[in-house]
Structure 1
Amino acid sequence: MMIRPAELAAIKAGTIDLAFRRWARPRVVVGTRMRAGVGLLEVTSVEQVSVASLRAEDAQRAGAPSLAALKKALSARSGDPAWRIGLAYAGPDPREALRAAVPDAEEIATIVARLDRLDASSASGAWTRETLDLIDLNGGVRAPELAAQVGRETADFKKDVRKLKELGLTESLAIGYLLSPRGEAVVDAGLAEPRVRAPRETGTPLPRSIGAPATRALREVGVTTLEHVTAYSAEQLAAMHGVGPIAIARLGEALAERGLAFST
Structure 2
Amino acid sequence: MSSPVAGLVNGALEQMGAASESYSFFDETKRKTICRALFDAYYADKDQPVLFDTNRHWTAKMHQLVELFDDFKVICCVRNPAWIMDSFEVIYRKNPFDYSRMFNATNRQTVYSRSEALINAGGAVGSAWTALKEAYYGEFSDRLLLIDYDILTRHPARSIELLYQFLGETPFKHNFDQVDYEESDFDQKLGVKGLHSVRKKVEFKSRRSILPPDLFAKYQDMDFWQDKTGTAAHIIAATQTSDSAK
User: Under a length normalisation based on structure 2, what TM-score does the superposition of the two structures give?
Assistant: 0.26
**Structure having the higher Rg:** 1
User: Under a length normalisation based on structure 1, what TM-score does the superposition of the two structures give?
Assistant: 0.24
